Structure 1
């Protein structure tokens, strides 16, 4: 249903993380997977992250959800934004699947916005890649070039910047996509009542990686190697360049040792920023119950937004699921790849995997108990 019309290999080669572009008619015969009323219903839920941005002559007001009533906002100059819709609304999953030519570890979430005429969030810069898909309605988008931009009103905490000179200034209509790499300023203006979809792809910062690495070494009492030297300075108060470099080389040695970083990296990259819609846990679930369900034709489905990853060249046979590690000592690489790649399994597919590796029974039972998978007829 959601098939991209552009050449994905060419896009990755020439455009991805290089330059913004509008892809006209990127989805043919596009249909909104969610309606405005259904989006408003999600924003009513306490667990769902949502906000309303009201455009005013002097700026923007941001009100955080949940929301019960929208009548106070009128018919113009506001926008509702709901994060991680793919976690809570399974019907959005087919659209998410269309973007899996980008690795799962980069995928952040699907944000959906409902905007009234003249609604928008103002000029800003994101630190992640985003595909903005236009659903119902029309929106004008302006995108500027990379550069140094002043934050709005000289406020260092403001997410907004002062205006910019656009290198893209165009109108998105249903099925069009605007791709924006990190660092490019952009601003959207709603021309008619519209629904838009933002597919965000994020990579961890140096700060996040170092923090995670430090926590991992502290928790596991690792990283105990200390700096040693063969030459000392003549002046006691001077730290020689060789000592500075030698101390920092301790970090470089960890970065070049897969055994030191792989567990940390797998956990970090499989974590979700937003809450998952975890299924109710079945206390009776065990291997016998699972196999009986499969024999009666049940399917296994992964909940929306769950990241199941494996690391190429890993020193162990294992998976990383939502920030946790699961060892799979009896499973070959092809089985691990199948478990990461597929988000649903027919009864026959699951049975075949179980017959190939006993680990798969433990994996599926564990996922069901944690509410990360569920059984469907």
Structure 2
């Protein structure tokens, strides 16, 4: 899916652009446009017919958010939630120059759901997607930077983008652009690194921290902003600090009467703690690295989701499953096997663990490999009937889903 967004190979993108510098990819060098993900007609459908609620919608004019009371209201009888999109209000604000922001499309719009899931798999970092619908000759937000990487995918209309060098390189999530407002305003007066009008089908990659602003031209502009929250060295360091909480000496209270009103009062203790940490990192490097890795894995699983299951269709599939039914591992679901016990094998998932007889280990490995399987093709079992029992349980537990032979 990365190949839809950048006009270069994966290795070149990773080496020369990822987290380093912007990349402009014209439509002529990309495999297709982005009309399958969103279109003006789809935007109208989302606003008028989908009952979308805040915070999945925002509106902004010249860098200032519009009060949501101006474009939301109750859905009426049977849908009395007060914060649903009011198409009348959206029309009024949009006609007055406000940009419509559809947030979290990867949570409710099917084409974007599939796209984001595949892109997350390609990048290995959490991904989300918003849409920006800007009326002609209007700017939604003033020059700023984002604390995540973005792929700007121009859907329809045109938009002029001005991109400037960072004033704060590689910002973290708690280091917003408003902390550098004056420096950004000054940087925006300089010669931009990129000054271009994105046409439908064009893509622009911006690493976090790069200052940018955008302005629609002579017609309504729609673009998708695909945000990527990269894990960083700071994340690993923070995870290591959490791992160090297991060390008793680091949990001891500092001396009575410390009153750390200036650095001099704590410098001695800080040095002592650093010595302890350095020794621990040397003596228990493998253990602490494993703990930190586990913390990072937990965060990744919290920020991403596997492909959604369809409850009614799943129960129908459970009831009709036979030796020839084709199933496959659920996309985006992470799991591992523990077969250290002589009697059982445990399939560990982000939210639960499922125990099987040890005989099932070869079958579970085959399923975990991701290829389509049938009850009759599973290795290590006595017969297809045993395979049906295993697959029926995995189907009910939302581990496998109906598949097809490639």
Q: TM-score, normalised by structure 2?
A: 0.64
* CA distance in 1: counterparts of 2:271 and 2:243, whole angstroms: 28
1:226 pairs, out of 230, 245, 249, with 249
Q: Residue 194 of structure 2 aligns to a residue in which SS?
A: strand
1:47-126 equivalence runs, <5 A = 49-55=56-62, 59-64=63-68, 66-69=84-87, 70-75=90-95, 77-93=97-113, 95-96=115-116, 99=119, 102-104=122-124, 106-117=125-136, 118-126=138-146
* CA distance in 2: counterparts of 1:238 and 1:215, whole angstroms: 22
Counterpart in the other structure of 1:179: 205
Compare 353-362 and 110-119 and name the one that shifted more.
Answer: 353-362
* CA distance in 2: counterparts of 1:22 and 1:72, whole angstroms: 34
1:63-103 Cα distance to aligned partner (Å, 9 max, x none): 45642221221435222222221221222345436635743
Q: Residue 119 of structure 2 aligns to a residue in which SS?
A: coil
* CA distance in 2: counterparts of 1:15 and 1:48, whole angstroms: 32
* CA distance in 2: counterparts of 1:13 and 1:333, whole angstroms: 37
User: Residue 267 of structure 1 contacts residue 325 of structure 1 at CA under 8 Å; is this kept in 2?
Assistant: no
Counterpart in the other structure of 1:14: 16
Counterpart in the other structure of 2:302: 271
2:228 pairs, out of 201, 215, 218, with 201
2:333 pairs, out of 305, 308, 317, with 308
* CA distance in 2: counterparts of 1:331 and 1:181, whole angstroms: 43
Offset, 1:167: 0.9
CA spacing shift, 1:224–1:159, aligned 2, 3 Å: farther
1:189 pairs, out of 182, 202, 215, with 215
* CA distance in 2: counterparts of 1:238 and 1:92, whole angstroms: 52
User: Residue 133 of structure 2 contacts residue 220 of structure 2 at CA under 8 Å; is this kept in 1?
Assistant: yes
**Larger RCO (alpha carbons 8 Å, 6+ apart):** 1
Counterpart in the other structure of 1:232: none
CA spacing shift, 1:261–1:298, aligned 2, 3 Å: same
Offset, 1:361: 6.0
CA spacing shift, 1:76–1:134, aligned 2, 3 Å: farther
Counterpart in the other structure of 1:231: none
User: Residue 133 of structure 1 contacts residue 175 of structure 1 at CA under 8 Å; is this kept in 2?
Assistant: yes
Counterpart in the other structure of 1:290: 318
Q: Residue 271 of structure 1 aligns to a residue in which SS?
A: helix
1:289-334 Cα distance to aligned partner (Å, 9 max, x none): 63733658576695xxx853469xxx9986654xx46478936997
1:102-140 Cα distance to aligned partner (Å, 9 max, x none): 433x13212222222114222111121111111111111
Counterpart in the other structure of 1:44: 51
Q: TM-score, normalised by structure 1?
A: 0.68
1:131-176 Cα distance to aligned partner (Å, 9 max, x none): 1111111111111102259xxxx96598995261321110111111
2:272 pairs, out of 219, 230, 243, with 243
User: Residue 135 of structure 1 contacts residue 195 of structure 1 at CA under 8 Å; is this kept in 2?
Assistant: yes
Counterpart in the other structure of 1:167: 193
User: Residue 86 of structure 1 contacts residue 92 of structure 1 at CA under 8 Å; is this kept in 2?
Assistant: yes
Does 2:291 match 1:260?
yes
* CA distance in 1: counterparts of 2:207 and 2:349, whole angstroms: 27
User: Residue 130 of structure 1 contacts residue 198 of structure 1 at CA under 8 Å; is this kept in 2?
Assistant: yes
Offset, 1:20: 0.7
Offset, 1:60: 2.0
1:27-57 Cα distance to aligned partner (Å, 9 max, x none): 34412423221332587323762211123xx
Q: Residue 96 of structure 1 aligns to a residue in which SS?
A: helix
Offset, 1:225: 3.9
Offset, 1:3: 5.6
For these two proteins, the number of residue pairs brought into alignment is: 336
1:185-208 Cα distance to aligned partner (Å, 9 max, x none): 111111121221122111346776
Is the helix fraction higher in 1 or 2? 2
2:30 pairs, out of 27, 46, 58, with 27
* CA distance in 1: counterparts of 2:308 and 2:321, whole angstroms: 20
1:338-353 equivalence runs, <5 A = 338-339=369-370, 348-349=372-373, 351=375
* CA distance in 1: counterparts of 2:392 and 2:296, whole angstroms: 26
The structure whose Rg is larger is 2
Q: Which runs of 5+ in 2 are unaligned?
A: 69-82, 170-176, 252-264, 382-386
Q: Which runs of 5+ in 1 are unaligned?
A: 229-235, 340-344
User: Residue 318 of structure 1 contacts residue 326 of structure 1 at CA under 8 Å; is this kept in 2?
Assistant: yes
